[in-house]
Amino acid sequence: MIYITHGFFPLKANLMLKEKIRNGELTVGSWITLGNTGIAEIMANAGFDWLVVDLEHTTISLEQAGELIRTIELVGVPALVRLTSNDVNQIKRVMDAGAHGIVVPMVNTPDDAVTAVAATRYPPNGIRGVGLARAQGYGTTFKNYLEWQSDMDDGPIVVVQIEHIDAVTNLKEILDVPGVDAFIVGPYDLSCSMGIPGQFDHPEFKQTMKKIIDISNTLGAISGLHVVEPDSVKLNDAIASGHKFIAYSVDIRMLDVSARLGVNEIRKRQK
């Protein structure tokens, strides 16, 4: 296994994350929804194990995503991209921009997972078209990149999102797909698909979450959860529940919560 560079930069961070996932270690990352490289740099330097650039629910363009990926990677943190959908063309483009892997929304069947994994890799291991962009050092490190992307153990990271009740039904088969490294539960979408939107204390939702964890534990799979609010208690609850791939909050919620806490303290003193 010889991976000198990823584009112009070392692949060490990616390999370390893959090893942690493979060993079942806890990793904590976060979510970027604002297309500002300064924010990305601050969050990358905060000590997260990984960061996700979100394309699904933001106005971040592919060009902005490329700059965010570059910034995150320069700090030495693996940069993942949450796609707008399981789109092989978008996967190709974010991987060419230098993404270390992808987070794929609405993976409901094993075939969905197979498509996502295949789109990160060139033939004969996948269906991705070959180009010479930043990921391949604009052509200078293509050989190393070719070797890296074909490796099912240490190559691109593929995280599937389980956010529909159909996905729960098919969870075992989805997680058995080679190349799927971890999954993240999308609680809002999952609860909506069950007809109980946002009712996370509903007995049926709690039972479904328990089923997900039980299947994950049986398979030795890496279960993830997005703790949207910057709340350390909820983070600890997620860890205690057995999740190992946890997204802790998101840039906009951290900014909002921090700003409001400060302003509220000021208002209290003015009364």
- Residues with catalytic roles: 57
Q: Are 6 and 19 in contact (CB under 8 A)?
A: no
* DSSP code per residue over 190-243: HHHHTT-TT-TTSHHHHHHHHHHHHHHHHHT--EEEEE-S--HHHHHHHHHTT-
Q: Could you tell me if 219 and 197 are in contact, meaning their C-beta atoms sit under 8 angstroms apart?
A: no
The number of helix segments (H) and strand segments (E) in the chain equals 12, 8
Cα–Cα distance list, 58 to 53, 55, 189 (Å): 9, 6, 17
Is omega for the bond preceding 124 within 30 degrees of 0, making it cis?
yes
Cβ neighbours around 19 below 10 Å, total: 12
Q: Which DSSP symbol is given to 128?
A: P
- DSSP conformation letters of 77-103: --EEEE-SSS-HHHHHHHHHTT-SEEE
DSSP 157: E
Compute the distance between CA of residue 249 and CA of residue 230 in angstroms, rounded to an integer. Answer: 5
User: What's the maximum distance between 2 C-alpha atoms anywhere in the chain?
Assistant: 69
